[in-house]
């Protein structure tokens, strides 16, 4: 079920028998020479929506812009300050809590969001903890790219060249979602360098074409189809564990 395609009465009916929801969260930022700027939003969205359709779980609106300051040296990257994203998550959770949702699973596509989403959870829980009240809502963060099946399949498909940013597996998943957007680019070097980074200027110097440790030229729509299946299974496990109070 997609929240955006439901009427309020349909949501109300859903809430009559279950109170969990999944919020895809991602980023719009450079993904190397052949990756889409929307990669980190497209991936968790397609995984969540596919799972939601199959298992009749409510999927909320995608929070498509994230903590991406380090990519601002590449055209088209859009970033929120961490404190802004905390405010967004706080308001979204407050809205869902208002309706009686008790389990909100953020299904994430961007490593740069992880710290800030966890800080947001502490900010939200803290509102209750300072007042000495139990928080009514369970919050959890999951990352599609860190599921057991996805990681295993990624190793099988790309070995060491999946990399850290503009990875082969995420590019493959977006190619499956948007097969008309496959971009054929010769990578130079074949596999990008790896390492740490700080701000946008530093990132651009270290990773001139935007990739970190990856060879995304190996990505194919067919790989993406297999990755989607793996990711949906991983999400099903994670979601079951979450709802069960694990």
**Footprint on residues 44-63 left by its own copies (CB under 8 A):** 60-63
* Separation between Cα atoms, residue 94 and residue 90, nearest integer Å: 6
User: Look-up: residue for tokens 């009427």?
Assistant: 7
Minimum Å distance from CB 91 to its own copies? Answer: 5
Minimum Å distance from CB 58 to its own copies? Answer: 9
- Output 46 or 230, the one with its CB closest to its own copies: 46
Going from the C-alpha of 164 to that of each of 32, 146, 183, the distances in angstroms are: 11, 12, 20
Q: How many residues bind its own copies (CB under 8 A)?
A: 91
* Separation between Cα atoms, residue 107 and residue 90, nearest integer Å: 16
CA 209 to chain centre: 22
- Output 133 or 188, the one with its CB closest to its own copies: 133
CA 76 to chain centre: 18
- Output 57 or 79, the one with its CB closest to its own copies: 79
- Output 98 or 189, the one with its CB closest to its own copies: 98
| Residue 182 binds its own copies (CB under 8 A) | no
CB atoms within 10 A of CB 125: 15
- Both structure tokens of 119: 């800080």
- Both structure tokens of 72: 């601002």
User: Look-up: residue for tokens 């990875």?
Assistant: 167
| Residue 91 binds its own copies (CB under 8 A) | yes
Which 141-180 positions form the footprint of its own copies (CB under 8 A)?
A: 178
- Output 58 or 230, the one with its CB closest to its own copies: 58
- Output 67 or 232, the one with its CB closest to its own copies: 67
| Residue 15 binds its own copies (CB under 8 A) | yes
Which 109-148 positions form the footprint of its own copies (CB under 8 A)?
A: 112, 114-116, 118-120, 122-123, 125-126, 128-135, 138-139
Cα angle value 29/148/172 (rounded, 5°): 40
Minimum Å distance from CB 113 to its own copies? Answer: 10
Cα angle value 121/126/128 (rounded, 5°): 115
């Amino acid at each position: 079920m997609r929240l955006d395609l439901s009427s309020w009465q349909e949501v109300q009916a859903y809430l009559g028998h279950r109170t969990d929801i999944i919020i895809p969260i991602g980023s719009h930022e450079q993904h190397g020479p052949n990756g889409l700027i929307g990669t980190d939003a497209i991936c968790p969205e397609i995984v969540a929506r596919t799972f939601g359709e199959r298992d009749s779980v409510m999927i909320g609106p995608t929070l498509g812009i994230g903590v991406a300051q380090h990519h601002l040296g590449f055209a088209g990257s859009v970033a929120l300050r961490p404190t802004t994203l905390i405010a967004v998550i706080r308001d979204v959770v407050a809205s869902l809590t208002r309706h009686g949702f008790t389990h909100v699973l953020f299904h994430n596509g961007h490593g740069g969001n992880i710290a800030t989403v966890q800080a947001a959870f502490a900010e939200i829980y803290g509102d209750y903890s300072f007042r000495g009240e139990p928080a009514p809502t369970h919050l959890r963060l999951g990352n599609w790219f860190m599921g057991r099946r996805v990681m295993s399949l990624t190793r099988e498909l790309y070995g060491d060249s999946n990399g850290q940013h503009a990875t082969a597996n995420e590019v493959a998943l977006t190619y499956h979602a948007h097969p008309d957007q496959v971009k054929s680019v010769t990578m130079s070097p074949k596999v990008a360098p790896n390492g740490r980074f700080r701000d946008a200027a530093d990132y651009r110097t270290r990773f001139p074409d935007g990739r970190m440790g990856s060879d995304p030229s190996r990505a194919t729509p067919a790989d993406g189809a297999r990755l989607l299946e793996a990711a949906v299974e991983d999400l099903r496990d994670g979601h079951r564990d979450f709802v069960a109070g694990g």
